[in-house]
Amino acid sequence: MRLKDKVAIITGAANGLGLAAAETFAREGAKVALADYDANLGRERAAELKAKGYEVSFFQVDVSDRSSVDEMVRRVAAEFSGIDILVNNAGITRDAMLKKLSVEDFQKVISVNLTGVFHCTQAVLPFLLERGSGKIISTSSVSGVYGNVGQTNYAAAKAGVIGMTKSWAKELGRKGINVNAVAPGFIMTGMTAKVPEKILEQMKSMVPLGRLGDPRDIANAYLFLASEEANYVNGTVLHVDGGIMM
């Protein structure tokens, strides 16, 4: 098993990419903390994974609230006797064209998608430094690299994640901590499932592989970066986008 006995926190783990990552990590032997804002769904997902024999627990958290993050991290470390891996996966969208984008929606996305990554990483860092090793993986997006119409707030946050990733990789590499990011393209999640079929076909036509990604495609990228196989990978942004931006 590639993550045997490692303790991993995955934020936004109640659905989508985070849930796929939680199951993938657990299957590879990790003790997984499912951290999510949605307490009811999070507990339900944790129960489902436990029924499969995996060692997982749910922890409610609002990543935009530092006190909530600190409490979540404290509880995870206490239950699992430390922390080895952090996957900053939690994120939201509040899309609008610049002319119509409200200050509130701009700030909310920044608070969750960017400041939340800072909160979680800084809160987990002492436990990784204590171990003298660790993996920090944050979810960016192709929107954060190339921009996207109607996503000023989202693209800004995801670009910021890349900047923080590279800064932390330089700061923490000599401490035995690898810091990397994943930039997903169009992935089939609950959100995209609501998109009209005509639009989905247009999205697929933009991807050289001819399909949208599966959440497991992203989970496998997280798994690689969290494993010993990526011990010499640091400060990179791994695009998992089917080649959409070539």
The pLDDT value recorded for residue 86 is 99
Domain chopping of the chain, boundaries: 7-237
Single out the catalytic residue among 146, 154, 222, 232. 154
Q: How many CB atoms lie within 10 A of CB 185?
A: 22
What mean pLDDT is predicted for residues 19-26? 98
Instruction: Look over the chain and give the mean of its residue pLDDT values, rounded to a whole number.
Output: 96
The backbone torsions φ and ψ at residue 52, rounded to the nearest 5 degrees and listed phi first, read -90, 0
**Is a pLDDT exceeding 90 seen at residue 13?**
yes
pLDDT of residue 48: 98
- Residue 189's pLDDT is 86
CATH code of the domain made up of 7-237: 3.40.50.720
| pTM, 2 dp | 0.97
The mean per-residue pLDDT over the stretch 59-73 comes to: 98
Conformational region of residue 93, where left means phi above 0, alpha means psi within -120 to 50, and beta covers everything else: beta
User: Residue 194: its pLDDT value, please?
Assistant: 67
37 carries an active-site annotation:
no
End-to-end CA distance of the chain: 34
pLDDT of 70? 98
Task: Give 37's pLDDT tier (boundaries 50, 70, 90).
Answer: very high
| Residue 215: predicted pLDDT | 97
How are beta strands 177-184 and 237-240 bridged, if at all? parallel
Q: Residue 246: what pLDDT?
A: 65
- What's the pLDDT at 65? 98
Query: What DSSP state is assigned to residue 209?
Result: T
Task: Check residue 200 and give its pLDDT.
Answer: 83
pLDDT band at 233 (very low <50, low <70, confident <90, very high): very high
Q: What local confidence, expressed as pLDDT, does residue 184 receive? A: 97
pLDDT in tens, 98-124: 999 999 999 999 999 999 999 999 999
